[in-house]
């Protein structure tokens, strides 16, 4: 149901900074063949190395029986990977985060191209918008943002040393627009009165600080941010805040209902945040347009397509809401419970999402018929649970990370 405004409320904040088969339902949604026994490639037998083990050969694409999952394009099995989504830097380069550093893969073949070591294990790498990729590196005595050049085999281009008294967390990076890098930091100890959680912007050309501002409160979650227009819009679990990204001026802060609210999705004049419920907030002044009371304890981050908001949950399955009013359009239901660890991917009228519970699978739903069209059992050394699946997409390819394995699937 939808209701009007109000109220309070994702991974816990580091102290130095903030930020398988299933049964068919009566409605006809089925757990289609190829879930536990679907197509999978032969993972390379070579053991882990700094650059990863070899990938399987790309699979030819062709017609397939109705209801069957598409065969994978390739599967990569490498050294231990961090539990964050891959980053599709370009149409030919996918970057993974391993505990030993960043790994660049050829998106066409899954072949490892380069590695870059020295990065902290938490947090996700962020494309800077000027062709580089930034992450937080460990340096002597401190963590510091560092940028590598994916087109130059991961060569380090710069490291941003913290100013005196400033500390960067391992997950400090928020976003970048090609001209500036936006990140979090802290000053002082969380136990002291002079402690301050900060937001900062740095010029990418000369790495000078452009502005800094206080967070206004100590957040409960590491922030997730997007850059709509001239805004830096970030959610820290309890609240959604809009800043003028040119000056750092705070425009508004909106307390959110529920807990675990994650990365905002923006469409038109509104931002949408999901976690313990789903909230639509007006970008111009931060007023709440509507709030969807959860059927699930929590929902995935949302995605907006053709005026419809989609999120996933274990009870709702696929949840579709009218993005304008918040009214429920449909739910696929609990016959195929879906995970909440990442936003679903919508492409060509088909929604792709990880399943919840036991066997690690990705399920695809046709949005017009509202039915599952295929499921794919995801290979993955290091985990046997669907909760470890992370998704990324580029063009017509879906990249599925599960444990230490990444699989490329055709979208649709």
Q: What average pLDDT score do residues 104-110 get?
A: 97
Within 13 Å, how many C-alpha atoms sit on residue 200's CB side? 26
Residue 319 in any domain: the answer is no
- Residue 383 backbone zone (phi > 0: left; psi -120 to 50: alpha; other: beta): beta
Looking up tokens 């985990």 gives 383
Could you tell me if 182 and 224 are in contact, meaning their C-beta atoms sit under 8 angstroms apart?
Answer: no
Burial of 246 (0-12, 13-18, 19+ CB in 10 A): middle
The answer on pLDDT for 261 being more than 90 is no
- Residue 286 backbone zone (phi > 0: left; psi -120 to 50: alpha; other: beta): left
- Residue 73 backbone zone (phi > 0: left; psi -120 to 50: alpha; other: beta): alpha
Measured distance CA(265)–CA(220) in Å, rounded: 20
The answer on pLDDT for 259 being more than 90 is no
* Beta partners for residue 156, in sequence order: 148
Q: Following DSSP, what letter does each residue of 207-221 receive, concatenated?
A: --EEEEEE-SS--SB
The pair phi, psi for residue 386, each rounded to 5°, is -65, -20
The bridge status of strand 155-159 relative to strand 133-139 is unpaired
Residue 146 in any domain: the answer is yes
Residue 258 in any domain: the answer is no
pLDDT of residue 57: 55
Residue 324 in any domain: the answer is no
Within 13 Å, how many C-alpha atoms sit on residue 38's CB side? 29
The answer on pLDDT for 118 being more than 90 is yes
Among 83, 111, 105, 148, smallest CA distance to 339 is for 83
Q: DSSP assignment, residue 336?
A: S
Measured distance CA(144)–CA(167) in Å, rounded: 8
Q: Indicate the average pLDDT of the chain.
A: 83
Token pair listed for 225: 């941010």
Q: Band of the pLDDT at 61, cuts 50, 70, 90?
A: low
pLDDT of residue 16: 34
pLDDT of residue 327: 97
Residue 149 in any domain: the answer is yes
**pTM to 2 decimals?**
0.83
Residue 167 in any domain: the answer is yes
The pair phi, psi for residue 258, each rounded to 5°, is 75, -170
Residue 186's domain comprises 87-223
Which has more confidence, 327 or 51? 327
Question: Would you mind telling me the total number of residues written for the chain in this entry?
Answer: 412
Which has more confidence, 107 or 23? 107
Among 338, 323, 362, 368, smallest CA distance to 350 is for 368
Could you tell me if 108 and 119 are in contact, meaning their C-beta atoms sit under 8 angstroms apart?
Answer: no
CATH (domain of 121): 2.130.10.10
* Rg over CA atoms, the chain: 21
Q: How many domains does the chain have?
A: 1
Residue 179 in any domain: the answer is yes
Token pair listed for 303: 């995605």
> pLDDT tens for residues 142-172?
899 999 999 999 999 999 988 888 999 888 9
Measured distance CA(60)–CA(72) in Å, rounded: 9
* Window from 42-46, 84-88, 261-265 with minimum mean pLDDT: 42-46
Residue 152 in any domain: the answer is yes
């Amino acid at each position: 149901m939808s209701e009007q405004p109000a109220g309070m409320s994702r991974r816990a904040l580091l102290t130095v900074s903030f930020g398988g088969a299933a049964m068919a339902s009566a409605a006809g949604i089925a757990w289609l063949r190829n879930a536990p026994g679907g197509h999978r490639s032969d993972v390379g037998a070579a053991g882990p190395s700094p650059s990863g083990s070899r990938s399987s050969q790309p699979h030819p694409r062709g017609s397939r029986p109705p209801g069957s999952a598409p065969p994978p394009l390739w599967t990569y099995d490498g050294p231990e990977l961090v539990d964050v989504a891959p980053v599709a830097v370009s149409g030919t380069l996918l970057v993974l985060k391993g505990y030993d550093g960043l790994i660049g893969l050829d998106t066409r073949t899954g072949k490892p191209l380069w590695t870059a070591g020295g990065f902290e294990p938490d947090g996700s790498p962020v494309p800077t918008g000027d062709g580089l990729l930034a992450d937080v590196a460990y340096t002597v005595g401190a963590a510091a943002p560092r940028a590598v050049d994916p087109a130059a085999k991961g060569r380090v281009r710069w490291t941003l040393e913290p100013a005196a008294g400033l500390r960067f967390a391992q997950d400090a990076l928020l976003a970048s627009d090609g001209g500036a890098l936006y990140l979090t930091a802290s000053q002082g100890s969380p136990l002291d009165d002079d402690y301050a959680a900060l937001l900062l912007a740095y010029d990418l050309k000369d790495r000078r600080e452009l502005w800094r501002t206080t967070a206004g409160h100590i957040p409960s979650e590491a922030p997730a941010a997007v850059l709509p227009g001239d805004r830096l819009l970030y959610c820290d679990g309890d609240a959604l805040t809009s800043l003028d990204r040119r000056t750092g001026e705070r425009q508004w802060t909106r307390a959110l209902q529920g807990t675990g609210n994650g990365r905002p999705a923006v469409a038109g004049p509104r931002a949408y945040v999901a976690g313990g419920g789903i909230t639509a907030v007006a970008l111009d002044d931060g007023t709440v347009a509507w709030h969807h009371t959860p059927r699930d304890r929590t929902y995935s981050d949302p995605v907006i397509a053709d005026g419809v908001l989609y999120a996933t949950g274990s009870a709702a399955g696929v949840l579709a809401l009218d993005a304008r009013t918040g009214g429920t359009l449909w739910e696929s239901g609990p016959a195929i419970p879906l995970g909440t660890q990442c936003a679903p991917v919508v492409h060509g009228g088909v929604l792709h999402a990880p399943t919840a519970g036991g066997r690690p699978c990705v399920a695809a739903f046709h949005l017009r018929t509202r039915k599952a069209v295929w499921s794919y059992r995801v290979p993955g050394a290091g985990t046997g649970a669907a909760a470890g699946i992370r998704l990324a997409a580029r063009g017509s390819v879906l990249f599925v990370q599960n444990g230490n394995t990444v699989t490329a699937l055709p979208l649709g």
